[in-house]
Structure 1
Amino acid sequence: MSTDLGSGLTSLFVVAVVAAVTPVLVGLLGRLRVPQVVVLILGGVVVGPHVLDLADPNSIQLLANVGLGFLFLLAGYELDLTVFRQSAGRLAVSGWLVTITLACVIVGGLAALGVVKAFVPVALGLTTTALGTLLPILRDNNMLRGSFGPYILAAGAVGEFLPVVAIAIFLGSHGRFVGLISIAAMGLLALLLSVLPRLGRGGRIARILAEGEHATSQTTLRWTVALLLLLLVVAADFGLDVVLGAFVAGLVLRRWAPGDLDHKLDAVGYGFFIPIFFVSSGMGLDVESIVDAPGRLFLFFLLLLAVRGLPTLLVYRTALPRTRRFELVFIVSTALPLLVALSQIGLATGHMLPENAAALVGAGVLSVLVFPAIAVALHHRLARQGEEGDRSG
């Protein structure tokens, strides 16, 4: 066995142990309601090169990228595009446009003061929402049901998809025009893939795939993984971030995948690949930079709330009651995976200072720890008030 393979297997084993221990720790913490994502990232920090040095993030980078892909595939799969023809979708786009305007003004000012090197990656980071990260938390607390669910999904999807498009245009490796052409090509490919199942419906191949769906061949799951990897490869070849390919894969799957595929995707994604991504993110977190300049972390943390969250109070004032709007403020302010991706892009291109990259990711970790917990508490409080009102009535 080669040294590189042995090192990679050792790192993967350590990551697998962190992933296996995480739900146990979350269960022991009980009422604190700490999201698993936070424990996975903190576990990555502990076993990574900056603390115990038990695992090398570079040796599992490919699996971590696939985990990132699965995270956004599931986010795209959860999104029903018809929501954008409804009020929830239009309000979500309006809210994001207000957010990007605020982000450009505020981060542009920080760039003029020399706090940030180039404002584009940081400004885009402040407009993101970690829908993929939030989904398990939202599902576990029944927050996607009822009339409020579409507002959450629409705002979260816009906070993931539009920043990805902006990244492809403004931070792509081949220039803005090529980035626009690449996005159009991805959209065309997605449209073609969406109609393929209709062409083969009722044929022999369709019957073979249906018969193997629950057998050992697991035909639909295998084709799903192949689709995800295809679109990740296409996105990478176009010079786009893998997130775009994964999100598009999820949108395509919603059109032609069977109804119970989501359970299989959850098992493969959350059971293996996605925890690797989060643990790997923790392993790569530059803890020393955060300790040396903690003020940057808290600045970005507050800006996530102010720039991404607070406009919600104004944009949704006629659509949602005040408690729901505050709940949505903390949901849309939660960001992490795209912050990791933006930091990596910013460092690779020289557009971002290392201390800002670490602080931005650290702010994302803190947002995942704090903001969903507040949103869940507000949700349960509103639910209890409803139950008390029903009993009194």
Structure 2
Amino acid sequence: MSHPGTLLLIMAAAVLAPLLAHAAGRWIRVPLVIFEIALGIVIGPDVLGWARPDSVVDTLSHLGLAMLIFLAGYEIEFAAVRGDTLRRSMGAWLVSLALGLTIGLILTGGAVTAALVLGTALTSTALGTVLPILRDSGDLRGRFGTVVLAFGAVGEFGPIIAMALLLSGRQPLESAALLVAFAAVTALAVLWALRPRPPWFSRVIAETLHSSGQFAVRFVMLLLVSMLALSAAFGLDTLLGAFAAGVLTRLVLSGAAPASATAILGTIEAVAFGFLVPLFFVVTGIEFDLAALVSGGRALALLPLFLALFLLVRGVPVALLAPRDLRRTERRALALYTATCLPLVVAITTIGLDEKVISSGDAAALVGAAMVSVLVFPLLALRLRAREGAASTRARRGEGTETW
């Protein structure tokens, strides 16, 4: 049964979150997602008890997660991340997966399925969460931003593939066959997207761009829903379809005029970040099992351990295998950004809870550690980048003084 009051509270929290982030920015830069999740916890059943998700809210929340992954796929510029950077990012993730599965087996006492849930969660990167931070700091378009995109994309895409192969409940060979079939259909879609657009396509986009027609936005939404339906038809996680839809959308819009492509993306981001994505994060807070975490014992003890493991399992291999042209501080910042996680941790722990292979306390500890990673790791990375920028400025001024 749908309860409009819950959706009203969620949207009120979504409006309040940026105001709190703006006010806090005078003292410390806190990612917006932290306020969204925190407000969700406050209005959720473990604090005030005002909001409880229903079928409508859950559907919108899942769509918000899909939009987050869709935009992460859209941001990937394969021309910039291919070659050595892509190979290094894939190698780092494979090392993370092996390390995560090993640690998972140790922590779960050899319980394979639980180890798969834990190990896969430790390898994820919240690229969709990191992207706004990179964009706001001005790092997204430089060399450092390109490397973060490459390593973050693999950290987003790799766990989705692992979920499809290892956590689907099917035999690995069956899952692999379905993945190959999905990849083949997606490859055909990529070939279609690479073909030149007919003149009428660009003309209709331009004529409806600022009208009620909004052909381009409707076309993108059709593409997203089609890829979600395709992944569901193959029995795969819909996040795989969302990521593929983002990649396809970039290819499709590459043939449009730059101004039109920018306007289309702006409209899509307005829908995503203005409604669906904050709704997902607020609902994440509402569904967070705060009682299991603060009751003490195992769950509370595991939270700092999981936080350290995110940095060890994901961040350390990234720092070691980062491109050689990055400076030491850039490697450290890259490790912190890639160890930042949340959306996929929520998705993976949800699977673990549904399959009854992990406890609600362990899931709360994982999600809680992921929340702390979103709060702490990007702030440390921003501080490293700011310190490096200040040092470069002082060096340039010193060089200028010596020349003068």
Calculate the TM-score normalised by the size of structure 1.
0.93
* Structure 1 residues 53-73: Cα deviation after superposition (integer angstroms, max 9, x where no partner): 222223400000000000000
Q: Is the 8 A contact 2:194 2:251 kept in 1?
A: no
Per mean C-alpha deviation after superposition, the further-off stretch among 363-372 and 185-194 is 185-194
What amino acid does structure 2 have at the position aligned with 1:277?
F
The answer to whether the aligner puts 1:37 opposite 2:33 as a matched pair is yes
> What is the CA–CA distance in structure 2 between the aligned matches of 1:120 and 1:162, rounded to whole Å?
13
> What is the CA–CA distance in structure 1 between the aligned matches of 2:373 and 2:129, rounded to whole Å?
11
User: After superposition, where does 1:20-99 map in structure 2 within 5 Å?
Assistant: 20-30=15-25, 31-59=27-55, 60-99=57-96
Identity %: 37
The answer to whether the aligner puts 1:367 opposite 2:370 as a matched pair is no
Q: Is the 8 A contact 2:134 2:145 kept in 1?
A: no
Consecutive unaligned residues of structure 1, counting only runs of 5 or more, are none
In the TM superposition, what is the alpha-carbon distance from 1:241 to its structure 2 partner? 1.6
In the TM superposition, what is the alpha-carbon distance from 1:366 to its structure 2 partner? 0.6
Q: State the match for 1:179 in structure 2.
A: 175
User: After superposition, where does 1:3-22 map in structure 2 within 5 Å?
Assistant: 4-5=1-2, 7=3, 9-22=4-17
User: After superposition, where does 1:134-149 map in structure 2 within 5 Å?
Assistant: 134-149=130-145
Compared CA separation, residues 210 and 185, structure 1 to 2 (3 A)? farther
The answer to whether the aligner puts 1:219 opposite 2:222 as a matched pair is no
What amino acid does structure 1 have at the position aligned with 2:31?
P
Q: Is the 8 A contact 1:22 1:39 kept in 2?
A: yes
Q: Is the 8 A contact 1:44 1:280 kept in 2?
A: yes
Q: State the match for 1:279 in structure 2.
A: 282
User: After superposition, where does 1:241-390 map in structure 2 within 5 Å?
Assistant: 241-257=237-253, 258=256, 259-260=261-262, 261-292=264-295, 293-316=299-322, 318-390=324-396
What amino acid does structure 2 have at the position aligned with 1:70?
M
What amino acid does structure 1 have at the position aligned with 2:94?
L
Compared CA separation, residues 88 and 67, structure 1 to 2 (3 A)? same
- 3-state SS of paired residue (1:128): coil
> What is the CA–CA distance in structure 2 between the aligned matches of 1:131 and 1:156, rounded to whole Å?
5
Q: Is the 8 A contact 2:193 2:248 kept in 1?
A: no
In the TM superposition, what is the alpha-carbon distance from 1:302 to its structure 2 partner? 0.9
The answer to whether the aligner puts 1:151 opposite 2:147 as a matched pair is yes
> What is the CA–CA distance in structure 1 between the aligned matches of 2:80 and 2:54, rounded to whole Å?
39
Q: Is the 8 A contact 1:174 1:239 kept in 2?
A: no
Q: Is the 8 A contact 2:67 2:242 kept in 1?
A: yes
In the TM superposition, what is the alpha-carbon distance from 1:193 to its structure 2 partner? 2.7
* Structure 1 residues 224-262: Cα deviation after superposition (integer angstroms, max 9, x where no partner): 112112211222232222211110100100101242122
> What is the CA–CA distance in structure 2 between the aligned matches of 1:332 and 1:197, rounded to whole Å?
30
In the TM superposition, what is the alpha-carbon distance from 1:99 to its structure 2 partner? 1.1
Q: Is the 8 A contact 1:93 1:158 kept in 2?
A: yes
* Structure 1 residues 326-348: Cα deviation after superposition (integer angstroms, max 9, x where no partner): 11111111000000000111111
* Structure 1 residues 249-303: Cα deviation after superposition (integer angstroms, max 9, x where no partner): 0010010124212211211100100001000111110011111231111111110
* Structure 1 residues 45-88: Cα deviation after superposition (integer angstroms, max 9, x where no partner): 11112211222223400000000000000000000123443222
Q: State the match for 1:167 in structure 2.
A: 163
Give RMSD over aligned pairs. Answer: 1.9
In the TM superposition, what is the alpha-carbon distance from 1:317 to its structure 2 partner? 7.2
Per mean C-alpha deviation after superposition, the further-off stretch among 119-128 and 165-174 is 165-174
User: After superposition, where does 1:118-137 map in structure 2 within 5 Å?
Assistant: 118-137=114-133
Q: Is the 8 A contact 1:117 1:353 kept in 2?
A: no
What amino acid does structure 2 have at the position aligned with 1:85?
R
In the TM superposition, what is the alpha-carbon distance from 1:381 to its structure 2 partner? 1.0
In the TM superposition, what is the alpha-carbon distance from 1:145 to its structure 2 partner? 2.8
> What is the CA–CA distance in structure 2 between the aligned matches of 1:206 and 1:382, rounded to whole Å?
44
> What is the CA–CA distance in structure 2 between the aligned matches of 1:160 and 1:331, rounded to whole Å?
12
Q: Is the 8 A contact 1:286 1:358 kept in 2?
A: yes
- 3-state SS of paired residue (1:352): coil
What amino acid does structure 2 have at the position aligned with 1:28?
A
What amino acid does structure 1 have at the position aligned with 2:130?
L
Q: Is the 8 A contact 2:104 2:118 kept in 1?
A: yes
* Structure 1 residues 190-219: Cα deviation after superposition (integer angstroms, max 9, x where no partner): 233334456683254553344223322111
Compared CA separation, residues 181 and 211, structure 1 to 2 (3 A)? farther
What amino acid does structure 2 have at the position aligned with 1:27?
H
> What is the CA–CA distance in structure 1 between the aligned matches of 2:381 and 2:106, rounded to whole Å?
30
Calculate the TM-score normalised by the size of structure 2.
0.91
> What is the CA–CA distance in structure 2 between the aligned matches of 1:163 and 1:84, rounded to whole Å?
19
Per mean C-alpha deviation after superposition, the further-off stretch among 309-318 and 323-332 is 309-318
